[in-house]
Amino acid sequence: MMRSLARAALALLLVAAGAAHLTTLRRGFRIAVPDWTTRLLRADKDTVVVVSGVVEVLLGVALAVLPRERVRIGVAIAAFFVAVFPGNVHHWRTRASVPGLDTDAKRFARLFLQPVLVAWALWATRRP
């Protein structure tokens, strides 16, 4: 029961965060994209934000509608959270403000949320 609730909450979080990347917070999320990412991916910051938002939405929907694939989806979600961590570090190091993360303390605390998200994804999706 707890894992089912955790999966549902994680799916909602992913869809909501992904939607925010595509709409209201799109501009602010560009600040968190490190310059080296645009060179590596050969894409501008807006494209990185949009693609990451689409991936988040797809992962959230997949988690909700593909229960037989939940272990694989959980690993993919955890890998996504690891992949975006450099953006969190960049955001903290540059001290740039975005909605909800407008102080050094909040940006620093956000770094510690990422391992929690990875653990949540793996725990909520593992087989009983």
Q: Is 35 a member of any domain?
A: yes
Q: Is 24 a member of any domain?
A: yes
Count of the separate structural domains present in the chain: 1
Instruction: Point out the residues of the chain with pLDDT beneath 50.
Output: none
- Tell me, rounded to whole angstroms, the distance of Cα 36 from its chain centroid: 19
pTM recorded for the entire structure: 0.92
CA distance 30 to 87: 10
Q: Is 89 a member of any domain?
A: yes
Q: Is 127 a member of any domain?
A: no
Q: Is 79 a member of any domain?
A: yes
Handedness of CA 3, 66, 86, 98 (dihedral sign): negative
Task: Give pLDDT, residue 31.
Answer: 86
Separation in Å, CA 104 to CA 43, 46, 52, 99, 109? 28, 24, 24, 13, 8
Count of positions (residues) in the chain: 128
Tokens 């903290």, located at residue: 92
Q: Which residues form the domain of 17?
A: 2-122
Q: Is 7 a member of any domain?
A: yes
Q: Is 96 a member of any domain?
A: yes
